[in-house]
Structure 1
Amino acid sequence: MKKSTSLLLSGMLVSGMVLGTIVTPATVHASDDAAAVTQADTDVVNNVTYFDRSGATVGANSTKVTGTKGAKITAVPDGYALADGETAVFGNDNANVGVKVTPMISAKVNFVDQKGNLVKSETINGGDGNAYTMSTLPNGCSWPADANKTITLEQGKEYNVKVNRQVTNTIIFKTADNSEAGRTQVFGEKAGDTVTLIADQIPAGYTVDSNDLTLQSDGNTQFIAVTKNVEGITPFTATVRVGSSATTLYTVNGKAITNRLLAPGSDWKTANKLVLNGKAYYQVATTEWVPADKVTVVSQTDNNTDTNSTVEKADRKTVTTKNVAYTPLYDGNGKEVTNRGLGASSDWATDQMQTINNVKYYRVATNEWLKASDIA
């Protein structure tokens, strides 16, 4: 509020002089209003007496409760809830206030479908005599158009609540070898509806051909094929050539394909390399892979960082060089290390072996490999 001042003049004005009384009223400042608002928001302490629905006192005759004047009193004794309709608020400091409360109780709710069959039972909690509105449904159910979702809780009473049960199918996920990878349930209004599997329903680490499926009759079980996600696939653009004999193809899971072979000496373009259980494969068709140790890379793009190799656990613990003055070493890509070599008839521990372009190597240091042909 802006500062305001008024003058009340009484009397007569004679020759420029005022005869009478000048009255100056009190001045009101904006800060005075602010103080008044702050005072209204100040916490107060009230003496609260709790009563049950019969009017009997609950607990002590009065309990000191702190709150803001005009705010609803929500604090209640342990094991009680505010009775429906109770609207008591904090009064002036040290005011006496009565609050109606009701004991907390538990009640059993049975969800019953349109055929009268029990779908699920659950326990709910609330104040005795208070209204309770249900917000969740059992999986695969919906509310009827005339559903009454609100009940009045009464001690010792059991409630049957009507729901519409949807068509339910059990989905069992199977791998190529018929092993079960997991299962879930799907729901819909009627058989023939299309439902979509969400990511959480598909077993972790697996992929389905399609997330959409058609509901069958209620209670049916459907089997869905899944493929285990494969790690270790990296881009590798090249042309590979099959060796002197026909070569078996494999799936991405390492399973042999029995009705197809690659002809001897034939060339195949590849875009990806797979390492599965320590063995390398090259992709020569959408679902067909050829073992890296059965082909030779005859051309590849410059941006490939991989080699035509397969790494696996060594088939021996030590290797011994031949009795020659100097035995060369090679890096993990089969390139000769020019500044190091091994002495004659020396023993070296090994943990891995790999084949690069049909040449076998044993690892004798972090990135140093010895050709199998140089072993005694």
Structure 2
Amino acid sequence: MKRKVMVTLLVALLGLTFSILSVHSVKAESVTSGNFVEVDVRSAQLYNSFGLSLGKSEPKGSDWYLGKTVTVNGNDYYQVATNEFLSSNDSFVYRNRPEVIKVSSDDGDVPVYNHNLVESTKVALAPNTSWYSDRVITTSEGMPFVRVATNEYVGMWYVIQQQFTEKY
């Protein structure tokens, strides 16, 4: 009998506790909106907001939601956790932007660039072809480049048609 009373009291207490807790709604798109940071080197050191190494690193290709950017001694650092930053020398910023694009060029093939905006000597896109793009990077001057393959980007001035796709 004592055991039943104790279990009943425990269940009632837990029920009261959970009814007091607040409930927060989160939009699913909030996970894919905003800016992100991708590690560009084999192993990127993490730094604090003063630019001092934390003795931890992140692997190449890992993606992080960008909190804020701080500048220390002329170098930008991207916040990826509480007081943990990646150097702009080891990573780059992008935005998700799923769309189908069509490219064209009056001079023939459309040049392709890597995320450092270095033109590829091995790859170019045929004019008047369509491509799926999922990301956009922007130069410091605000010029957008859209990704058409892993580490392959095309300048938006070559895009003659866009069809936005549903967010994923």
**TM-score with structure 1 setting the length:** 0.24
Question: Greater CA radius of gyration, 1 or 2?
Answer: 1
**TM-score with structure 2 setting the length:** 0.47
Higher percent of residues as helix: 2
